[in-house]
Structure 1
Amino acid sequence: MSTALPSAPAARLDVDLTPMKLVIVGHVDHGKSTLIGRLLHDTGSLPEGKVEAVRAMSERRGMPMEWAFVLDALQAERDQGITIDTTQIFFKTARRPYVIIDAPGHKEFLKNMVSGAASADAAILVVDAKDGVQEQTRRHGYILHLLGLDRVVVAVNKMDLVGHDEARFRQVADDVRHYLAGMNIVPAHILPVSARHGDGLAQVSDRMPWFEGPTLLQALDGIEAKPLPVELPLRFPIQDVYKFDERRILAGRIESGRLSVGDTLLFSPTNAAARVRSIEAWAVDGPVMSASAGQSIGITLDDQLFVERGHVASHRIDPPVETNVFRARIFWLGRAPLEVGRRYKLKLATMEHTVEVQAIERVIDVADLSERPADRIERNEVGEIILRARAKLALDPFVDNPRLGRFVLIDGYDMAGGGLVSMDGFPNQRSRGEPTSQNITAVEHRVTTDARWQANGHRSGVLWLTGLSGAGKSTLALELEQALFRKGWQAYVLDGDNIRFGLSADLGFAPEDRAENIRRVGEVAALFARAGVLVITAFISPYREDRDRARAVAPDLFHEVYVKADLEVCETRDPKGLYKKARKGEIAEFTGISAPYESPVSPELEIDTGALSLAESIERLLGYVEANFGMNGRE
């Protein structure tokens, strides 16, 4: 027996006309469809005659009133007794309208569930009071985390099957709360309900007088909406470019923010800029002076820039990140496993690029959130990976702007995975190191580099030693410097720690600071090399992009040496005690522990200090130097 619970006073909940999108998730047969069907009935949202049709259908099958038939529109679903597609349903309360996305719970249909949940603002997680937390419950819970959904209401359903027992509800609630806490999700409410009988949905039941919390509808009305997309920085992905008369119209949908006629827009990743001359809209009388998130528009510019599909327009302030490498949390749905080295098509907004799986950092067991290393991610597994593209991409970390922070991977013609963008440990590569001064002119030296080589008796260059902390870079560099000095060579070591006492004393260890540090060192090393000195650098230099930039300063003089040692070997050495501090959380962004290291792809020389002794390593390094920098037989 249920009794009506008066709605909360209107003065306490502001009316919001923006629909809140809800995704309903949970293990198969835990009663999601029944909950939705009864919820629609109790809010008066069903079409006339629908209840009678469902009752007649249930009677023909010899079943009690089956509210799930409200949603199971496909005959295949009725025959199998499971939901196999996502369905959108509309209802409203006194506070706001809602769009419910009913997502399938059966393991085989998780692909549809991901596509449905991707557009949701909040979630209802349905758990059977009798069965408790099951495998699919855990998997769906992690998908909510994967897709960034932290507004969650848990409905412990089928309380009638456990005699409306308070102890059983508390036990299931504790299990759910503990599991979600492992993903930093704190549910807004955990509610006991019986969807078949309407208990706890729009009404409170006297069968559970021990529960003093809200009904499901009141709990949903109490969820605060996320910031509207219009309040986020402008993101206008270009969908197409049209030519009408003399006009070139850039068409697309504004994903976030707003723009106006006269605004200066920055187009990523080309970094070209122009002002908005006009805004073109369809079926609108009169000129349009501004547009905001959610609107599909066209714009013309005051300058004929090269712009194509996939470029993203923004304001100069708060542009998207530009990068060719990023981290991602991904749920894999492909028939073939995701593997290191495999290439896939990435789709993000209107952008499409081929990306390569550079690394699989971990696979996460959704049953207990334990992590394990792996070289592949199988179907229906969750993992954290690093993706790399050949070109720079314009995107946002999901936590900053979800509109450009979600993507899918396509394998062949099939959607094989969905994920979230993370830039943790990686720098923004947008326009670093470009001169800001305008009135400068390069000065040519009168002494050539060849003349310096002849005077010194050896060639100069940059011997760039890269590797993890503890791999032996500084040790090898200093030993080599001493050996060359004894031979009469002009050689000098630029060491990472020493540089940070002076040239880079103003920099920290955030990804952008690391990138700037290596940029400075690359420029200084090139100056030394052009002066005739053989420069030996000893820097972790964890990012390939930064090492490539250092090479580009003096490409004919640059030699990359990978000082290789496994992380376990480096931690065993730990000459400065840094790994111990990093493991304790005392050092943030420490390479190899909490920040990435990207190994060289094709270094000029590789020295495995984990397998070679110091003497053997120096012998190989010195032999390389003599072979590549010696002149006229003079060593």
Structure 2
Amino acid sequence: MNAGPIPDNAAAQRASLRQLLRIVIVGHVDHGKSTLVGRLFHDTGSLPEGKFEAIKKMCERRGMPFEWAFLMDAMQAERDQGITIDTAQIWFKTEKRDYTIIDAPGHKEFLKNMITGAAQADAAVLVIDATEGVQEQSRRHGYLLHLLGVRQIAVAVNKMDAVGYREDVFAEIETEYRAYLSSIGVTPTYVVPVSAREGDNIANRSTSMDWYDGPTVVGSLDSFQLPTAHLDRPLRLPVQDVYKFDTRRIIAGRIESGRLHVGDELIFSPSNKTARVKSIEVWPEPSNADGQPNTVSAGQCIGITLDEQIFVERGDIASHLKNPPVETEVFRARIFWLGRNALEKGKTYKMKLATADARVTVQEIEHVLDTTDLSSSTTTKVERNQVGEVVLRSRRLLPLDEHTRNGRTGRFVLIDGYDIAGGGIISMEGYADQRQLYTQRSQNITRVEHGVPTEDRERQNGHKGGVLWFTGLSGAGKSTLATKLERALFDRGYQTYVLDGDNIRFGLNANLGFSPEDRAENIRRVGEVAGLFSRAGVLAITAFISPYQSDRERARAAAGDMFHEIYIKADLETCEQRDPKGLYAKARSGEIKEFTGISAPYEAPDSAELIVDTSKLSVEQALEELLTYVEKTFRK
């Protein structure tokens, strides 16, 4: 980690103010990426002194023709094989700014390294061979750039000399590729006809293509915008490690977005502990008289000390109290899969997100997308080089961001065994931020023990208290069965009461809407109330869709071993046919947003105490199953 000393001479200060942009070079194998980069270095005078001459002598010594790509291919093994097999980063400069050029491999089997390069890039140059046109890899690379959040893309149609510098050939490729990129929501900034070998439209305008009036490749690069947006985004400081140094306890990490000041109050997720920044540490320590800085910002590797000693560990994310990251154990993701074995539903992988490692299970594979023609299919596997839209569930709460809000903390990789097997971006569509559900705001409170023991209540009632938690899609029959069961149990002498979803929203939860967060809070409150009923010796029956597994687990925790999950099962088609309240019709027409089963997820129970399939049973048969279960489980 090195924020660097402050320059103390004017030349160094001017140099430090030069802009820096990170560019990834991608494209199909042999379309001329490394040649283009080599030519860029040469034509702009960016090569180290003697580099060009050394490569020419090496080629003469080996009896081979000079290749511009050799200026980029620094590895001996790559020269011997004639292909680029890893990403390489070299400084590059124009009059306007400095660049880091990331040359990424084009072979399908080397896509993993291409993703590694693109994930670090602020912009991209995508190379297409004019003699071959748009290839499968050209589409795949375009899609991957979009997936990784690279929005500034220049397309270089290379080897125009090989097609006689024909305008019609270029126009056909430009039209086809612009149409593909547009279909995935990408607009290329420029499409430039070039000949990397001959130097046409690289740094200097081509005299052989006077029909083209756009910028050169260098002009395109210089027109790209600097990635300043992450400076204005909410603070995200993933904790890399915690060090004891002198008498200080220093929390170290790289600021991924936002700004940090001495005195800021921070919240560390997912623990939700807070403290203020006492000092900011950078290494080596500044040589100026002002000492350590009071303000740091995105991109800097720093350390901080706090005004109080709280437990912080690697993987935590520090943020300001306002606009913290999401905390969740379930989220949607779009994953590009590179593993030798297919990604499978139900399988668990290691996820690396910022500095955190977590185990995640593939809960659902919703769609598999073919990146060449954008067709989708439904399956239980995502094969190598496919894109899957999936739902992942963690064993613990994770702090993260939606990729559209913060690309730095909204993308991750999956590890299968010891290999990087896939990379993805995060979406919370349909799922709730669970932070508020775990935050206790009341202080100075003490639990009060009741004067009537549970055993006495059970003995007087003749049955145990408990929670019968009915879950299922709208129209599955939850409310119908709940009220009929309540009447039947009351007639048999049970102390029982129904907590119904609609009725609760008239009173206790009248202030809640139907966003994922409000739905989660709705179920949290009901779970707590049902738990209180059960401890009072009452058999509480709830009738709620309660679509999220995590919400039902919280309700189970509130009632303990008195909780019994009852899955009132019916498939979506059956529920739509019934549609007792006309809600499905409204959801299909767009009148109701985020309706469970249509535009919001339902996570069916995987270990319910009882499953009642109302698509196969009559109301009377279903009621009989419920009565049998209650008599066997709760009667004293």
Query: Partner residue of 2:602?
Result: 597
Code of the residue aligned with 2:203 in structure 1: it is A
Query: Partner residue of 1:357?
Result: 362
Cα pair distance change 1:579/1:72, threshold 3 Å: farther
Contact 2:530–2:559, Cα closer than 8 Å, also in 1: no
Which SS does the other structure have where 2:176 is aligned?
helix
Check if 1:247 corresponds to 2:248: yes
Task: Please state how far the C-alpha of 1:339 moved relative to its aligned partner.
Answer: 1.6
Distance 1:16 1:244 in 2: 32
**C-alpha offsets along residues 232-269 of structure 1, whole Å, 9 cap, x if unaligned?**
22222222222234432222222222323322221221
**C-alpha offsets along residues 321-343 of structure 1, whole Å, 9 cap, x if unaligned?**
21222222212222222222222
Task: Please state how far the C-alpha of 1:593 moved relative to its aligned partner.
Answer: 3.3
Distance 1:486 1:266 in 2: 53
Query: Partner residue of 1:517?
Result: 522
Distance 1:411 1:530 in 2: 45
Query: Partner residue of 1:460?
Result: 465
Code of the residue aligned with 2:28 in structure 1: it is H
Distance 1:584 1:55 in 2: 68
Code of the residue aligned with 2:99 in structure 1: it is Y
Check if 1:20 corresponds to 2:24: no
Which SS does the other structure have where 2:603 is aligned?
coil
Check if 1:167 corresponds to 2:168: yes
Query: Partner residue of 2:476?
Result: 471
Query: Partner residue of 1:237?
Result: 238
Query: Partner residue of 2:353?
Result: 348
**Equivalences for 1:434-513 in 2 at 5 Å?**
434-438=439-443, 446=451, 450-454=455-459, 456-513=461-518
Which SS does the other structure have where 1:358 is aligned?
strand
**Equivalences for 1:561-576 in 2 at 5 Å?**
561-576=566-581
Distance 2:405 2:17 in 1: 24
Query: Partner residue of 2:130?
Result: 129
Residue of 296, 319, 323 corresponding to 1:318? 323
Cα pair distance change 1:500/1:128, threshold 3 Å: farther
Query: Partner residue of 1:308?
Result: 313
Distance 2:307 2:501 in 1: 47
Cα pair distance change 1:628/1:184, threshold 3 Å: same
**C-alpha offsets along residues 518-545 of structure 1, whole Å, 9 cap, x if unaligned?**
1222233334434444322221111122
Contact 1:152–1:189, Cα closer than 8 Å, also in 2: yes
Query: Partner residue of 1:621?
Result: 626
Query: Partner residue of 1:275?
Result: 276
Check if 1:299 corresponds to 2:300: no
Contact 2:548–2:603, Cα closer than 8 Å, also in 1: yes
Cα pair distance change 1:60/1:439, threshold 3 Å: closer
Code of the residue aligned with 2:111 in structure 1: it is L
Residue of 385, 392, 407 corresponding to 2:390? 385
Task: Please state how far the C-alpha of 1:24 moved relative to its aligned partner.
Answer: 1.2
Contact 1:16–1:96, Cα closer than 8 Å, also in 2: no
Task: Please state how far the C-alpha of 1:514 moved relative to its aligned partner.
Answer: 1.0
Query: Partner residue of 2:13?
Result: none
Q: Which runs of 5+ in 1 are unaligned?
A: 1-14
Code of the residue aligned with 1:627 in structure 2: it is K
TM-score by length of 2: 0.90
Task: Please state how far the C-alpha of 1:62 moved relative to its aligned partner.
Answer: 8.1
Which SS does the other structure have where 2:39 is aligned?
helix
Contact 2:19–2:96, Cα closer than 8 Å, also in 1: no
Code of the residue aligned with 1:520 in structure 2: it is R
Code of the residue aligned with 1:271 in structure 2: it is N
Query: Partner residue of 2:151?
Result: 150
Cα pair distance change 1:569/1:140, threshold 3 Å: farther
Q: Which runs of 5+ in 2 are unaligned?
A: 1-15
Which SS does the other structure have where 1:46 is aligned?
coil
Code of the residue aligned with 1:426 in structure 2: it is Y
Distance 1:61 1:611 in 2: 78
Distance 1:406 1:434 in 2: 26
Cα pair distance change 1:579/1:223, threshold 3 Å: farther
Task: Please state how far the C-alpha of 1:60 moved relative to its aligned partner.
Answer: 7.5
Query: Partner residue of 1:35?
Result: 36
Identity rate, percent: 64
Which SS does the other structure have where 2:305 is aligned?
strand
Task: Please state how far the C-alpha of 1:367 moved relative to its aligned partner.
Answer: 1.3
Query: Partner residue of 2:295?
Result: 290
Q: Which moved more, 1:550-559 or 1:499-508?
A: 499-508
Task: Please state how far the C-alpha of 1:144 moved relative to its aligned partner.
Answer: 0.9
Query: Partner residue of 2:418?
Result: 413
Contact 1:191–1:216, Cα closer than 8 Å, also in 2: yes
Query: Partner residue of 1:10?
Result: none
Contact 1:96–1:221, Cα closer than 8 Å, also in 2: yes
Which SS does the other structure have where 1:369 is aligned?
coil
Contact 2:475–2:576, Cα closer than 8 Å, also in 1: yes
Code of the residue aligned with 2:633 in structure 1: it is N
Q: Which moved more, 1:228-237 or 1:23-32?
A: 228-237
**Equivalences for 1:182-221 in 2 at 5 Å?**
182-221=183-222
Contact 1:525–1:535, Cα closer than 8 Å, also in 2: yes
Cα pair distance change 1:491/1:402, threshold 3 Å: same
Query: Partner residue of 1:7?
Result: none
Query: Partner residue of 1:6?
Result: none
Distance 1:307 1:446 in 2: 41
Q: Which moved more, 1:521-530 or 1:511-520?
A: 521-530
TM-score by length of 1: 0.90
Which SS does the other structure have where 2:333 is aligned?
strand
Contact 1:433–1:519, Cα closer than 8 Å, also in 2: no
Query: Partner residue of 2:11?
Result: none
Which SS does the other structure have where 2:85 is aligned?
coil
Distance 2:604 2:242 in 1: 40
Task: Please state how far the C-alpha of 1:206 moved relative to its aligned partner.
Answer: 3.8
Code of the residue aligned with 1:236 in structure 2: it is L
Which SS does the other structure have where 2:408 is aligned?
helix
Q: Which moved more, 1:186-195 or 1:108-117?
A: 186-195
Distance 1:375 1:594 in 2: 21
Query: Partner residue of 1:5?
Result: none
Cα pair distance change 1:161/1:244, threshold 3 Å: closer
**C-alpha offsets along residues 206-233 of structure 1, whole Å, 9 cap, x if unaligned?**
4333333222222222222233543322
Query: Partner residue of 2:3?
Result: none
**Equivalences for 1:85-104 in 2 at 5 Å?**
85-104=86-105
Which SS does the other structure have where 1:407 is aligned?
strand
Which SS does the other structure have where 1:210 is aligned?
coil
Code of the residue aligned with 1:556 in structure 2: it is D
Distance 1:174 1:480 in 2: 65
Contact 2:351–2:413, Cα closer than 8 Å, also in 1: yes
Which SS does the other structure have where 1:619 is aligned?
helix
Which SS does the other structure have where 2:221 is aligned?
helix
Contact 1:236–1:256, Cα closer than 8 Å, also in 2: yes
Query: Partner residue of 2:6?
Result: none
Which SS does the other structure have where 1:207 is aligned?
coil
Which SS does the other structure have where 1:380 is aligned?
coil
Cα pair distance change 1:326/1:436, threshold 3 Å: same
Distance 1:351 1:310 in 2: 4
**C-alpha offsets along residues 49-70 of structure 1, whole Å, 9 cap, x if unaligned?**
4444555666788877532222
Task: Please state how far the C-alpha of 1:29 moved relative to its aligned partner.
Answer: 1.6
Check if 1:397 corresponds to 2:402: yes
Code of the residue aligned with 1:163 in structure 2: it is G
Distance 2:185 2:91 in 1: 30
Contact 2:314–2:356, Cα closer than 8 Å, also in 1: yes
Task: Please state how far the C-alpha of 1:588 moved relative to its aligned partner.
Answer: 2.8
Check if 1:366 corresponds to 2:374: no
Which SS does the other structure have where 2:560 is aligned?
coil
Task: Please state how far the C-alpha of 1:560 moved relative to its aligned partner.
Answer: 0.8
Contact 1:362–1:373, Cα closer than 8 Å, also in 2: yes
